[in-house]
Structure 1
Amino acid sequence: MPNIRALNPELQAIALKELNEVPERIDQDIAALRLWIEQQPHLKARTNDQFLVNFLRGCKYSLEKTKSKLDRFYTLRTKFPSYFLAHNVDVDELLKLFSFGTFIVLPRPLNDNGPRIILLRMAAYDPDKYQFADINRAAGLMFQIMLDEDDYTTVNGTMTIVDLDNVKAGHFLQMTPTTTKKLVVFQEEALPVRTKATHFINLPTGFDTIFNMFKPMMSKKQQGRLHVHGSNLKSLYKHIPQEYLPVEYGGANGSIAEIVKDWEKRIDAYRDYWVEEQQYGTDESLRAGKPVDFESLFGLEGSFRQLNVD
């Protein structure tokens, strides 16, 4: 038997129907993925059962897609440590950035058994003092724990609400094409999490310019999952009922301050995990076959290639 958490009946039914999970074959699937990792001279990855099954579920048990995402996950973190968690994680410094509450993971999933809801409040940090890349890296502490612990995320995916209320020009200036491409590629090619929808609310002047730059970088499928609501929250409620928002938004899904404090404790408890992470990553000099073409992925010249994701 694989050493993984048992899913509740509702999540197990979804895993069977939507993720192609066959409980009797999980051991075999994990073993095949672990063997492939051991055969990659350039890759050193976690190989415990729960970590690997989370990637398999996020890729609907396509072994080839799982290999690709797992490789990208460690490749991009190693290549771009200033954007994504990798080596020498300064937990104390990142906790300071995390405490601003820019990224919030709400405690109740949608409809209590659906996708995990993430709230991104851009104005929660001061762009005159901090960079969004650093804020994103700090949030990576939370997202790594979600990937490790949260079955709602790995089975049902996520829905993100991007609140742009009170954003400054400095926030937009930090979302350069290079930064945006890195974030999009990491989300679509490296994370084994299905993004079910992204909702934009409280739109400021100039939003269209950023949105029109950001949208073509995404796959056609993900473009179809973008929803722009302006200041009309009733439009948002058709997708995410108000009760599933934080109390600051008139909902009943926890208060932002309490959620942040709870996550700070969880992140702090993972200190040994972040030390262990230093041993994982990639060494491109040992990669067999064709090296990763980072210029093609992130070059500013030419059109950004479309990604094919579930």
Structure 2
Amino acid sequence: MPSIRPLSPELQKVAIEQLNEVPDRIDDDIAALRTWIEQQPHLKARTDDQFLVTFLRGCKYSLEKAKAKIDRFYTLRTRYPDYFTGHNVNVDELIKIFRLGVIIYLPQPLKDNGPRVGIMRMAAYNPDEYNFSEINRAAQMMQQIVLNEDDEAIVNGVVHIMDLANIKAGHLLQMTPSLAKKLTVYQEEGVPLRPKGGHFINTPGGFDKVFNFVRPMLSEKQRNRMYMHGSNWNALFEQIPQKYLPIEYGGENGSIPEIIKSWEERILAMKDYYVEENNYGTDEKLRPGKPVDFENLFGLEGSFRKLNVD
């Protein structure tokens, strides 16, 4: 039997019907993925059962997609440590940024047994003091816990709400082409969480130009799951009922200070995990075939080029 957390009956039903999970075959699927990792000279990855089943579920049990996603996950974290938490993570420093609460995941899933809900509040940080790559790295400590522990998010996916109330020009100027491309590629190609929708609320004038710049970087599926609500909260509530938002938004899904405090405790408990992460990553000098061309990989023209994982 695989050494993984048992799913609730509701989640197991979703995993079978939507993720192509066959409970009696999980052991074999995990073993196949582990064998492939062990055969890659350039890749040092975690190979425990829970880690591998997360990628299998995130890729609907396509072994080839799971291989590619693990490779991309470690490749990007190794190559761009200033953008993604992987090597040399200073938890004590990043936790100070995390406490700002720019990006948080809420305790109760949507409709109680649906996707996890995340909220990004851009105005929660001062762009004169921090840049968004720092905010992103701090938030990824929370995302790593989701990957490690949150079966609701892994099986049902994640819905994000982007609240852009009171943002400054400095916030928008930080979303450079290079940063936008890296974040988009990493989340879509390297993270085994299925985004189920993105909702923009309180969008300022001129934001459409920024959004239209990022939009072509997304897959067609993700573009079709993006919703611009402006100041029309009722349009948001039609898809995400208000009760599933924090108290500060008139909901019942925890208060933001309490949510931040709870996540802070969980992140601090992971210090040893990030020390261990220094043992994992990729070495491009050892990659079979052509090395990854990072300049073209994140060029503004063209799409993300498939990594050599076979």
Q: TM-score range by the shorter chain?
A: over 0.9
Instruction: Note if contact 1:201-1:228 (Cα within 8 Å) is conserved in structure 2.
Output: yes
TM-score, normalised to structure 1, is 0.97
Match of 2:303 among 298, 302, 305: 305
Instruction: Give the superposition deviation at 1:304.
Output: 3.4
Q: Which residue of 2 aligns with 1:78?
A: 78
1:41-84 Cα distance to aligned partner (Å, 9 max, x none):
00000000000000000000000000000000000000000000
Q: Which residue of 2 aligns with 1:196?
A: 196
**1:143-182 map, 5 Å:** 143-182=143-182
Instruction: Note if contact 1:203-1:231 (Cα within 8 Å) is conserved in structure 2.
Output: yes
Q: Which residue of 1 aligns with 2:220?
A: 220
Between the aligned partners of 2:41 and 2:304, the Cα distance in structure 1 is 29
Between the aligned partners of 1:297 and 1:223, the Cα distance in structure 2 is 21
Instruction: Note if contact 1:219-1:307 (Cα within 8 Å) is conserved in structure 2.
Output: no
Between the aligned partners of 1:22 and 1:290, the Cα distance in structure 2 is 35
Instruction: Note if contact 2:185-2:304 (Cα within 8 Å) is conserved in structure 1.
Output: no
1:115 equivalent in alignment to 2:115: yes
Following TM superposition, where does structure 1 have runs of at least 4 consecutive aligned residues deviating by more than 6 angstroms? Answer: none
Residue identity opposite 1:56 in structure 2: L
Instruction: Note if contact 1:164-1:202 (Cα within 8 Å) is conserved in structure 2.
Output: yes
Instruction: Give the superposition deviation at 1:296.
Output: 2.2
**1:25-40 map, 5 Å:** 25-40=25-40
- RMSD in angstroms over aligned alpha carbons? 1.0
1:138 equivalent in alignment to 2:138: yes
1:239-279 Cα distance to aligned partner (Å, 9 max, x none):
10000000000000000000000000000011110111110
Q: Which residue of 1 aligns with 2:286?
A: 286
Instruction: Give the superposition deviation at 1:289.
Output: 1.0
1:264-303 Cα distance to aligned partner (Å, 9 max, x none):
0000011110111110000000001122122222124xx2
Between the aligned partners of 2:4 and 2:165, the Cα distance in structure 1 is 41
SS at match of 2:138: helix
Residue identity opposite 1:143 in structure 2: Q
Cα 1:33/1:52, change in 2 over 3 Å: same
Q: How many residues align structurally?
A: 306
Instruction: Note if contact 1:108-1:253 (Cα within 8 Å) is conserved in structure 2.
Output: yes
Between the aligned partners of 1:163 and 1:171, the Cα distance in structure 2 is 13
**Structure 2: unaligned runs, 5 residues or longer:** none
Instruction: Note if contact 1:109-1:116 (Cα within 8 Å) is conserved in structure 2.
Output: yes
Between the aligned partners of 2:246 and 2:305, the Cα distance in structure 1 is 33
Q: Which residue of 1 aligns with 2:233?
A: 233
1:95-142 Cα distance to aligned partner (Å, 9 max, x none):
000000000100000011000000000010000010100010000100
Select between 291-300 and 110-119 the one with higher mean Cα deviation: 291-300
Between the aligned partners of 1:60 and 1:274, the Cα distance in structure 2 is 27
Residue identity opposite 1:29 in structure 2: D
**1:241-256 map, 5 Å:** 241-256=241-256
Instruction: Give the superposition deviation at 1:307.
Output: 8.2
Q: Which residue of 2 aligns with 1:209?
A: 209
SS at match of 2:144: helix
Cα 1:59/1:119, change in 2 over 3 Å: same
Between the aligned partners of 2:297 and 2:195, the Cα distance in structure 1 is 20
SS at match of 1:53: helix
Between the aligned partners of 1:20 and 1:287, the Cα distance in structure 2 is 31
Residue identity opposite 1:44 in structure 2: K
1:267 equivalent in alignment to 2:267: yes
Instruction: Give the superposition deviation at 1:205.
Output: 1.5
Between the aligned partners of 1:150 and 1:304, the Cα distance in structure 2 is 34
Instruction: Note if contact 2:297-2:305 (Cα within 8 Å) is conserved in structure 1.
Output: no
Between the aligned partners of 2:134 and 2:89, the Cα distance in structure 1 is 12
Instruction: Note if contact 1:115-1:153 (Cα within 8 Å) is conserved in structure 2.
Output: yes
Residue identity opposite 1:261 in structure 2: K
Instruction: Note if contact 1:219-1:306 (Cα within 8 Å) is conserved in structure 2.
Output: no
Between the aligned residues of both structures, percent identity stands at: 65
Between the aligned partners of 1:22 and 1:100, the Cα distance in structure 2 is 41
Instruction: Give the superposition deviation at 1:18.
Output: 0.2
Q: Which residue of 2 aligns with 1:10?
A: 10
